[in-house]
Structure 1
Amino acid sequence: MSRQTPVYYYSSASGVVRSFAERLGRPVFNLAERDVRHTEVDGPWVLLTPSYKTGNDRNDTIPEGVRRFLRSPVNRRRMVGVMGSGNRNFGRYYQMAARQIAEQSRRPVLFEFEIAGTPWDVQECARILAELDAALEADGHAPAA
């Protein structure tokens, strides 16, 4: 069995993003927890971030826990993709955090879903991550477990 690429996510008190992450069936780590934010990853990983901006240009769309985790050059270098949770009611700010991070890091947006996601979203995201695991292993970036 190949290594499962872990997902580091940020979830607010609502737990919506945490619930989605935990349904993916792989190692997940909550960046809302201080001890997680202060770690450095030991291999490829994927970021799952919500977008909170609702129209105030002075408000930042990227959660502070995500921003702090990405301050580490090791974490930035080892990130292989970004996923986003958003709310279409946010208009042009829908998925903005994931898209900004992907653009700045030159990493792909692997998957986007609305709010808590549907069962199909969870299944499709898990499929995409399994394909990523296989590709990383084939490229020699992820040791076999």
Structure 2
Amino acid sequence: MIHIYYDSKTGNVQRFMDKLTQITGWHAHKITADLIAEESGHLVTFTTNFGQMPETTRIFMTANASKIYSVTSSGNRNWGQNFGLAADKISADFDIPLAFKFELSGTMEDINQFIDIIKNNCDGSKRGSKKLDIA
């Protein structure tokens, strides 16, 4: 079973996760201050403050990075080069492959592409592998 750990502030990532779990049946775990990743999985987060990683995501990753296979981020294309930049920063800071970036709550095409990436490129992949950096 695939586990996704996610952080959502404005509801965009939550809506993405709701659609994703309805289609796939994958297990989604909303990040809280004290969440410990019991199972290995993937991270989906958001970008804040024009390209920054959310503090809640940083805290989660500091405690759980060894259990995370890949990172995906939502963002807003209006931010130009800062679009989804949280994923780039998490990838670099925690040596985790960047899987995907999507705008706001994502389209059905985004969800299908994300499913394909997770199923075919990184389900069970080894942490630190850079073969995923296709975003």
Deviation at 1:43, TM superposition (A): 2.8
- Which residue type is aligned with residue 67 of structure 2? R
Alpha-carbon distance between aligned partners in 1 of 2:115 and 2:81, rounded to the nearest angstrom = 27
**Unaligned 5+ runs, structure 1:** 55-59, 140-145
SS of structure 2 residue aligned to 1:62: coil
Alignment of 1:52-91 (within 5 A): 52-54=48-50, 61-72=52-63, 75-91=64-80
Name the count of aligned residue pairs: 121
Alpha-carbon distance between aligned partners in 1 of 2:118 and 2:20, rounded to the nearest angstrom = 9
Summarize deviations over 1:19-52 as a string: whole Å, max 9, x none: 1012212111222xx3xx3132123211111111
Deviation at 1:128, TM superposition (A): 1.6
Alpha-carbon distance between aligned partners in 2 of 1:68 and 1:22, rounded to the nearest angstrom = 23
Give the % identical residues. Answer: 27
SS of structure 2 residue aligned to 1:127: helix
Deviation at 1:71, TM superposition (A): 2.4
Deviation at 1:95, TM superposition (A): 1.2
**Unaligned 5+ runs, structure 2:** 127-135
Alpha-carbon distance between aligned partners in 2 of 1:30 and 1:43, rounded to the nearest angstrom = 14
Deviation at 1:53, TM superposition (A): 2.2
2:47 aligned partner: 51
Under a length normalisation based on structure 1, what TM-score does the superposition of the two structures give? Answer: 0.75
Contact 1:48 1:82 survives alignment (8 Å):
yes
Tell which structure's C-alpha radius of gyration is larger: 1
Of residues 81, 84, 98 in structure 2, which corresponds to 1:109?
Answer: 98
1:7 aligned partner: 4
Q: Choose between structure 1 and 2 for higher RCO, CA contacts under 8 A separated by at least 6 residues.
A: 1
- Which residue type is aligned with residue 85 of structure 2? M
Deviation at 1:93, TM superposition (A): 1.5
- Which residue type is aligned with residue 101 of structure 1? I
Summarize deviations over 1:119-140 as a string: whole Å, max 9, x none: 100111112222233xx28x8x
